[in-house]
Amino acid sequence: MTTIDLAGRARAALESLGVDPARYGSGDLMARSPISGAGLFGVRATPPAEADAVIGAAHAAFAEWRLTPAPVRGSLVKRLGELIAAHKEALADLVTIEAGKIRSEALGEVQEMIDICDLAVGLSRQLYGRTMPSERPGHRLQEQWHPLGVVGVISAFNFPVAVWSWNAAVALVCGDPVVWKPSELTPLCALGCDALLRRAMAERGAPAGLAGLILGGREAGAALADDPRVALVSATGSTRMGRDVGPRVAARFGRSLLELGGNNAVIVAPSADLDLAVHSMVFAAAGTAGQRCTSQRRLIVHESIADAVVAKLAAAFERLPAGDPFADGVLLGPLINPAAHEAMRAALASVADAGGEVVCGGEALDVGLGGTWVRPALVRLPRQSGPALIETFAPILYVLTYTDFDEALALHNAVPQGLSGGIFTSDAAEAERYLSPAGADTGIANVNVATSGAEIGGAFGGEKETGGGRESGSDAWKAYMRRTTNTINYSGTVRLAQGVDFTG
């Protein structure tokens, strides 16, 4: 077996990012790499008492940070973005080591962090409230957006740095401290991000408790969800996780922002440019080895072109270069762990029961590095049932055919999840129908673009079991602030709204 010195490379990245050496090297949380499948070294998990203190310090920092002018808060995020850009390679190294992403995708994920910092810096001068005309003479009506409080971020292994930054960059300019519970599968990525933010905070004189990191498992996430000092819990992960976190936060009337499972479909119409569609869908279905929440899991293709599209996809899947994700030209990295392949095998094993057929893929690939690689699978199903209704976090693309467009739309929406979707068509009316109120019921709906790889400028998230939250761009910042509606009377007399007379 070829060996790459992953532990050495991880240590070098951590060092260049300025991570305190006391935080890694030994500890009860094992940092692992899906490339080798082996443990790298231990990382110190955060004991519950310390986690409590981290939340307490963030809560204390809020008193100062909420009164720091928003453009000054923006200068902290500006510095964070500069530091991320200067350390892009080291952060991308950690993403590849811990999440197994190919080089281009790891660099892209770090670019996504830089982009959201840029957006948040601009936002720091644009946290606009409105002024509304008052119905009363001598009165003014306005709304303001104020900082909300501590934001708890729970993130998943598959975007181990970008999802934190979507939340942290926006929350910090909104005046909120951030406490982060990353996936226990990617603690090194979290240590790297935390070190850069701490350095930016020290340089800008921000209060020390403003950023907190809690390393641990599910119980660490539950502590954030249950703590009344945490105003907003922004959680990214499985629908199962959301079913636990959402009600816990709601039980104490906290706010939650949930970005949960997807089961994303693309419709390919007879008028589609098939080469464009296939290239786009190969990235959406097999990119990140099918481990994005935006990964394409279903293809709804017109019956007249189904065989041609399936043949092109199968050929592309067979050709995808698999191997060391650091190596040039490799497009297929490892699954996060053997359990992911087990889940994939179980889904494929149920295909026959659903009356379907595995066209290709699903088998393990031995690339000689020790981790778990699989050939992406293409599955034809006679109807949308069984495995096509659940999110299996692995590269499986279920193919369904349609005859008329209404049927395609109905299939597109007939799953419990509602994150992302797309249509490939040259027919303007079909495209508009797809985007209409009776069209795609997903939070992200694309035309001639497949399901993954959204830009940060738009709001990111989805409906139904995806949880309804929106992060990142557009007006997603409003979730991180509280609104006050203010009525100001400068008339010198009492004037009641709705014409009420209370003079007696």
The residue of the chain with the least Cβ separation from ligand UN1 equals 454
Neighbours of 197 (CB within 10 A): 27
Which stretch in 17-25, 155-163, 343-351, 491-499 sits in contact with ligand UN1 by CB under 6 A?
155-163
C-alpha to C-alpha distance for 142 and 132, rounded to whole angstroms: 6
Q: Return the closest-CA partner of residue 389 out of 418, 352, 409.
A: 418
> Is 480 an interacting residue with respect to ligand UN1 (CB under 6 A)?
no
Q: Return the closest-CA partner of residue 315 out of 393, 382, 401, 378.
A: 378
CB of 18 to ligand UN1, least distance (A): 27
CB of 293 to ligand UN1, least distance (A): 4
| Identity of the amino acid at 445 | A
Which stretch in 157-165, 248-256, 355-363, 380-388 sits in contact with ligand UN1 by CB under 6 A?
157-165
Whether 111 contacts 105, CB under 8 Å: no
Whether 155 contacts 228, CB under 8 Å: no
Of 48 and 457, CB closest to ligand UN1 = 457
In the region spanning residues 91 to 130, those forming contacts with ligand UN1, defined by CB under 6 A, are: 112
Pattern 280-309, binding to ligand UN1, x per CB under 6 A? Answer: ------------xxx---------------
Q: Which of 310, 454, 459, 481 binds ligand UN1 (CB under 6 A)?
A: 454
CA-to-CA dists, residue 166 to 285, 457, 474, angstroms = 24, 11, 12
CA-to-CA dists, residue 376 to 60, 220, 276, 318, 369, angstroms = 49, 34, 19, 8, 18
Query: 437: which residues sit within 8 A by CB, 6+ positions away?
Result: none
Which stretch in 250-258, 309-317, 367-375, 449-457 sits in contact with ligand UN1 by CB under 6 A?
449-457
In the region spanning residues 391 to 420, those forming contacts with ligand UN1, defined by CB under 6 A, are: none
> Is 452 an interacting residue with respect to ligand UN1 (CB under 6 A)?
yes
> Is 178 an interacting residue with respect to ligand UN1 (CB under 6 A)?
no
CB of 292 to ligand UN1, least distance (A): 4
Query: 470: which residues sit within 8 A by CB, 6+ positions away?
Result: 257, 443, 459, 460, 461, 476, 479
> Which pairing describes strands 420-424 and 444-447: parallel, antiparallel, or unpaired?
parallel
Of 57 and 113, CB closest to ligand UN1 = 113
Which stretch in 97-105, 328-336, 405-413, 446-454 sits in contact with ligand UN1 by CB under 6 A?
446-454
**Any idea which residues carry the catalytic annotation?**
259, 293
> Is 442 an interacting residue with respect to ligand UN1 (CB under 6 A)?
no
CB of 294 to ligand UN1, least distance (A): 4
How would you write 206-236 as a 3-class SS string? CCHHHEEECCCCHHHHHHHHHCCCEEEEEEE
Beta bridge partners of 264: 296
Of 200 and 258, CB closest to ligand UN1 = 258
Neighbours of 420 (CB within 10 A): 32
C-alpha to C-alpha distance for 8 and 14, rounded to whole angstroms: 10
Q: Which of 158, 256, 280, 417 binds ligand UN1 (CB under 6 A)?
A: 158
- Total interface residues for ligand UN1 by CB under 6 A: 11
For residue 119, the number of C-alpha atoms closer than 13 Å in the C-beta half-sphere is: 25
| Identity of the amino acid at 102 | I
Query: 411: which residues sit within 8 A by CB, 6+ positions away?
Result: 265, 298, 300, 384, 400, 402
> Is 453 an interacting residue with respect to ligand UN1 (CB under 6 A)?
yes
Which stretch in 139-147, 273-281, 343-351, 452-460 sits in contact with ligand UN1 by CB under 6 A?
452-460
CB of 451 to ligand UN1, least distance (A): 8
Of 183 and 236, CB closest to ligand UN1 = 236
> Is 166 an interacting residue with respect to ligand UN1 (CB under 6 A)?
no
Of 98 and 227, CB closest to ligand UN1 = 98
> Is 59 an interacting residue with respect to ligand UN1 (CB under 6 A)?
no
**What residue ranges in 361-416 does DSSP mark as E strands?**
364-365, 373-374, 377-380, 396-402
> Is 79 an interacting residue with respect to ligand UN1 (CB under 6 A)?
no
- Which residues of this chain interact with ligand UN1, rule CB under 6 A? 112, 158-159, 163, 236, 292-294, 452-454
